[in-house]
Amino acid sequence: MAREPVLTFTEKGIYCAAGDFFIDPWRPVHRALITHGHADHARPGHDSYLATHAALPVMRHRLGDISAQGIDFGESIRIGTADVSFHPAGHVPGSAQIRVAVDGEVWVASGDYKTEADGLSETFEPVQCHHFITESTFGLPVFNWQPQQTVARQINDWWARCAADGKTAFLGAYALGKAQRLLSLLDPETGPILTHGAVEATNRVLREQKIDLPETVQATADLKPKDWPGAIVLAPPSALGSAWARRFGPQESAFASGWMQLRGVRRRRAGDRGFVISDHADWHGLLGAIRETGAENIYVTHGYTEIFSRYLSENGWRAQIVPTEFGDSDDDTEDGA
């Protein structure tokens, strides 16, 4: 008689009966194990939360007074009859893949992940398993990222040209993860780095965790733009072109996202520039991560699920699409691809 799978996909989220817990549930539950702090994965309303020590400060900043327990990367705990551990996902600081083992059967729920080391997040570590739950945000061959330092040069060169032309450079990025990654790539010798309040609030949380970030100045209402010539401003994409941004006078705006790989998206964004950089794995990163797990059974969640799962099925894996309510990672959403 076949036993029940270690993880099942329910209307509330990914469920483990052996431990009576959910992973990144999208409905309120008693016990939630959380891969990272983005709002489509860490939602309010759960009775208790378990996440990495590195992810909890941002979660508390966003969710308020929650009942939460922290865990170290690689630490193994027993929940019911399930052995659980958290392993680096490389997506944003503190992000994790969650390994669940019951009677020798191992599943890994990867959440969102990036295989390129960025110098800010804990570097992705492949985890051996029988069953692997993967995103497919950029699950098309067209998505093929350039090395991070190549994009860093592009951004710094653009900023320098803006400064030389007497313009303020506005760079749009989500406030958790992408903004701090870009901040770590900026050359402070070019000029001052200003931040929108949403970005600076997250910066403060991460700095309190001893994450090293360049010096920034929050662009509050009383800040006089004329006193900050040659500045670059990091802000959520929704703030670009707003009344808040227009008070800086002559300016250029740019978006930093994996979606900038697609010409149609660049045109719709109507920014002056688009830089291709993502906190998600590209096509080769997804395939490489899956190969390194050794898993034969792959469960494909949000993104290009149909195309990616079909490719996997045609190339030796047992792949299937599973329904979730995780975001598809547009720059104006919490995930900020």
Instruction: At 310, list the tokens.
Output: 């079909």
Identify whether the C-beta of residue 139 lies closer than 8 Å to the C-beta of residue 287.
no
| 36 pLDDT more than 50 | yes
Mean pLDDT confidence for 27-35:
98
Angle at the Cα of 42 from the Cα atoms of 197 and 6, rounded to 5 degrees: 160
| Per-residue confidence (pLDDT) for residue 333, from 0 to 100 | 42
3-state secondary structure string, the chain? Answer: CCCCCCCEECCCCEEECCCCEEECCCCCCCEEECCCCCCCCCCCCCCEEEEECCCHHHHHHHHCCCCEEEECCCCEEEECCEEEEEEECCCCCCCEEEEEEECCEEEEECCCCCCCCCCCCCCCCCCCCCEEEEEECCCCCCCCCCCHHHHHHHHHHHHHHHHHCCCEEEEECCCCCHHHHHHHHCCCCCCCEEECHHHHHHHHHHHHCCCCCCCCEECCCCCCHHHCCCCEEEECHHHCCCHHHHCCCCEEEEEECHHHHCHHHHHHHCCCEEECCCCCCCHHHHHHHHHHHCCCEEEEEEECHHHHHHHHHHCCCEEEECCCCCCCCCCCCCCCC
Is 148-275 assigned to CATH 3.40.50.10890?
A: yes
| 185 pLDDT more than 80 | yes
| Per-residue confidence (pLDDT) for residue 3, from 0 to 100 | 76
* Pairing verdict, β 232-235 and 273-275: unpaired
Q: Report the share of the chain in percent with pLDDT over 90.
A: 88
pLDDT-derived band at 268, boundaries 50, 70, 90? low
| Per-residue confidence (pLDDT) for residue 4, from 0 to 100 | 86
Tokens 């469960």 correspond to 299
Mean pLDDT confidence for 117-133:
97
| Per-residue confidence (pLDDT) for residue 52, from 0 to 100 | 98
Instruction: Give the range among 16-25, 159-168, 318-327 with minimum mean pLDDT.
Output: 318-327
| Per-residue confidence (pLDDT) for residue 131, from 0 to 100 | 98
Architecture of domain 8-142+280-321: 4-Layer Sandwich (3.60)
> Where do the structural domains in the chain lie, given as residue ranges?
8-142+280-321, 148-275
What is the dihedral sign for C-alpha 317, 116, 265, 240? positive
| Per-residue confidence (pLDDT) for residue 82, from 0 to 100 | 98
Measured distance CA(17)–CA(107) in Å, rounded? 13
| 270 pLDDT more than 60 | no
| Per-residue confidence (pLDDT) for residue 144, from 0 to 100 | 97
pLDDT-derived band at 327, boundaries 50, 70, 90? confident
| 312 pLDDT more than 50 | yes
Mean pLDDT confidence for 147-157:
98
| Per-residue confidence (pLDDT) for residue 336, from 0 to 100 | 54
Mean pLDDT (the chain) is 93
Mean pLDDT confidence for 120-124:
97
Mean pLDDT confidence for 320-337:
66
pTM score: 0.94
pLDDT in tens, 205-218: 999 999 999 999 99
